[in-house]
Amino acid sequence: MRVFLRRNALRAFSVLPTVVKRWIVGVAKPSYTMAAMVRIERPDGSLLIVRTSYREGWVFPGGLCDRGEAPMETAVRETREEVGLAVRPGAHPIVLIDPAMRRMDFVFDTAVDDETAAGVSLDPAEIAEYRWIGRAAIARLEATERTSVGRVLRAAEAGETVVVVEWDDIDGPVLKRQQG
């Protein structure tokens, strides 16, 4: 009986107008907040990290997607706004998904030359400070500061493209990684 009801409900759904289907799915399924950031690397291998003015910890430049904005567009816009750099991120981000927070973070990567790197110009309303940090210093940073930087780098080095995480705070350290 259950299969019969489900099958008929799906058939009825399939003949509805697209606008009605989208409304039903939007009401019935959870929505996610999307954000995008950029892992920016200089020729010497150091990475740009920022400390925001409104939250503890170090992160890559980025922010929340505007409604209808693609994650790559967000990454480019937020990087320009926060640190004054015009970047061209790679097309294949690492995606961090937190089902409990209903959040997806798209982490793009790009490289800049030394001249571009020297052009960092902070938006003081959003960014308190920045650092170019070597990979060796990231472990020390993780030991003393709140940061998601190390987790993103470990995912990149492992070739992971989608990582399910649980954050203790929206930009805090990863507490648990779901294996799968």
Rounded to two decimals, the pTM is 0.78
Check pLDDT > 60 for residue 175.
no
In this prediction, residues 58-70 reach a mean pLDDT of 93
Domain identity same for 26 and 112: no
Q: For helices 149-157 and 135-144, what crossing angle results, to 10°?
A: 140
pLDDT tens sequence across 112-126: 999 999 999 999 999
How far apart CA 173 and CA 165 sit, in angstroms, is 10
Domain identity same for 22 and 91: no
In this prediction, residues 79-105 reach a mean pLDDT of 92
Q: What's the domain range around 23?
A: 1-30
Domain identity same for 63 and 51: yes
Domain identity same for 25 and 37: no
Check pLDDT > 70 for residue 82.
yes
Check pLDDT > 70 for residue 51.
yes
Check pLDDT > 60 for residue 144.
yes
Which residues pair with residue 166 across a beta bridge? Answer: 176
Domain tally, the chain: 2
